[in-house]
Structure 1
Amino acid sequence: MLKKLVPALAAASLLATTQVPSAMAFDIGGSNGWKFSTDGFLNVFGTYESVQARPAGVIGGELGSGGNVTTPTAAGERDQQFRVRTGLLPVGIGFNIKSPVVDGVQYGIRLGIYPQIQNNGGSHTDISPNIDFREINATADGSFGQVLAGRALNLYQGKNILTDMTLFGAGVVGPVNSGPTMGHIGYGYLYPNFGAQIRYTTPDMAGVKWAVSVNDTSDIGAATVRNIPRFESELSWATTYTGGKAQAWLSGLWERNSFATTQPIRPGQHVDTVGGAGGLEGSINGLDLLVSCYGGQALGMLGMNGADALSADGQVRPNWGFLTQATYQLTKTWKLGLNYGQSRAEKAGNDTDANIMKQQAAVAAITYNVNSFVQLMAEYTWAQDRWFNGEHQNGNMGAIGTFIYW
Structure 2
Amino acid sequence: MSRRLLPAATIFFIGTLAASQAGAVSLQAGDWTVDIGGIVNAYYTSVDCTGDNVGGAALAGRGLGCAGQDHKTTIGNGLLPDGLVTKFKTSQDGIEIGGTIGIYAATATSSGIAANSGVDVRQAFFTIGTAEAGTLKLGRDYGIFGSSAILSDMTLLGIGAPVQATQIGRVSLGHIGAGYTYLGNYGQLAYTSPVLGGGFTFNGALVSPVDVGVNYYASQAGPQYQAQLAWAGGGFKAWIGGKMQHFADVGAGTGGFSEKAGEIGASFSSGPFGVLANFQTGKGLGILTDGDQGNIKGRNFLVQGTFMFTDKLKFGLNYGESRNSDDNSLNATLNSAFKSNSNVTGGLYYSLTKSITLAAELGQTRSKDYLGNSAKMVGGSFGGIVFF
Q: TM-score, normalised by structure 2?
A: 0.90
Decide which of 326, 337, 340 is 1:358's aligned counterpart. 340
Paired position in structure 2 for 1:5: 12
For structure 2, list consecutive stretches of 5 or more residues without a partner in the other structure. 1-6
Decide which of 65, 68, 75 is 1:84's aligned counterpart. 75
Decide which of 145, 154, 163 is 2:152's aligned counterpart. 163
Decide which of 321, 346, 370 is 1:388's aligned counterpart. 370
SS at the partner of 1:10? Answer: helix
2 CA distance for matches of 1:86 and 1:355? 31
SS at the partner of 1:9? Answer: helix
Amino acid at match of 2:238: A
2 CA distance for matches of 1:148 and 1:171? 30
Task: After superposition, give the CA deviation of every residue in 1:52-100 in whole Å (9 maximum; x if it has no partner).
Answer: 15427x34312355139xxx986xxx5211111111100122101111x
1 CA distance for matches of 2:125 and 2:340? 36
Cα distance, 1:349 vs structure 2: 4.0
Decide which of 200, 213, 234 is 1:208's aligned counterpart. 200
Decide which of 271, 282, 285 is 2:271's aligned counterpart. 285
Paired position in structure 2 for 1:137: 125
Q: Greater CA deviation, 215-224 or 361-370?
A: 215-224
Question: Within the alignment, does 1:405 sit opposite 2:381 as a pair?
Answer: no
Amino acid at match of 1:265: G
Decide which of 115, 119, 122 is 2:105's aligned counterpart. 115
Question: Within the alignment, does 1:62 sit opposite 2:44 as a pair?
Answer: no
Which stretches of structure 1, 4 residues or more, deviate above 4 A after TM superposition? none
Question: Within the alignment, does 1:370 sit opposite 2:370 as a pair?
Answer: no
Paired position in structure 2 for 1:223: 217
Larger fraction in strand: 2
2 CA distance for matches of 1:127 and 1:159? 35
Task: After superposition, give the CA deviation of every residue in 1:258-316 in whole Å (9 maximum; x if it has no partner).
Answer: 235xx4715xx53100000121000001100000010001122112222xx22xxxxx1
Paired position in structure 2 for 1:233: 227
Paired position in structure 2 for 1:295: 281
Question: Within the alignment, does 1:187 sit opposite 2:184 as a pair?
Answer: no
Paired position in structure 2 for 1:196: 187
2 CA distance for matches of 1:204 and 1:299? 29
Question: Within the alignment, does 1:335 sit opposite 2:314 as a pair?
Answer: yes
SS at the partner of 1:111? Answer: strand
Change (3 A) 1:133 1:265: same
Cα distance, 1:225 vs structure 2: 4.9
The answer as to whether partners of 1:54 and 1:73 remain within 8 angstroms in 2 is no
The answer as to whether partners of 1:5 and 1:39 remain within 8 angstroms in 2 is no
Question: Within the alignment, does 1:319 sit opposite 2:298 as a pair?
Answer: yes
1 CA distance for matches of 2:192 and 2:328? 36
Cα distance, 1:238 vs structure 2: 1.6
Paired position in structure 2 for 1:93: 84
Q: Which has the higher contact order (CA 8 A, sep 6+)?
A: 2
The answer as to whether partners of 1:109 and 1:136 remain within 8 angstroms in 2 is yes
Paired position in structure 1 for 2:49: 51
Cα distance, 1:207 vs structure 2: 2.2
Task: After superposition, give the CA deviation of every residue in 1:182-232 in whole Å (9 maximum; x if it has no partner).
Answer: 111100001111110000111111421111110111125423252111111
Paired position in structure 1 for 2:3: none
The answer as to whether partners of 1:380 and 1:398 remain within 8 angstroms in 2 is yes
SS at the partner of 1:224? Answer: strand
SS at the partner of 1:172? Answer: coil
Amino acid at match of 2:223: P
Question: Within the alignment, does 1:26 sit opposite 2:17 as a pair?
Answer: no
The answer as to whether partners of 1:156 and 1:251 remain within 8 angstroms in 2 is yes
SS at the partner of 1:204? Answer: coil
2 CA distance for matches of 1:116 and 1:64? 23
The answer as to whether partners of 2:348 and 2:360 remain within 8 angstroms in 1 is yes
2 CA distance for matches of 1:73 and 1:84? 14
Amino acid at match of 2:49: V
Q: What percent identity do the matched residue pairs reach?
A: 23
SS at the partner of 2:92? Answer: coil
Change (3 A) 1:382 1:41: same
Paired position in structure 2 for 1:254: 244
SS at the partner of 1:125? Answer: coil
Give the CA RMSD over aligned residues.
2.3
The answer as to whether partners of 1:317 and 1:348 remain within 8 angstroms in 2 is no
